[in-house]
Amino acid sequence: MIAEEEKIERRTALRHALASQRLEGLEPGAAALRDAQRWAAGEISCGEAVANYLALLRHDMA
Q: Is the pLDDT of residue 1 over 90?
A: no
Residues 19-36: tens digit of each pLDDT: 999 999 999 999 999 999
CATH label of the domain that carries residue 41: 1.10.8.1050
- The domain total for the chain is 1
Res. 6 pLDDT band, cuts 50 70 90: very high
DSSP assignments along 13-61, one per residue: HHHHHHHHHHHTT----HHHHHHHHHHHTTSS-HHHHHHHHHHHHHHHH
What range defines the domain where residue 10 resides?
4-61
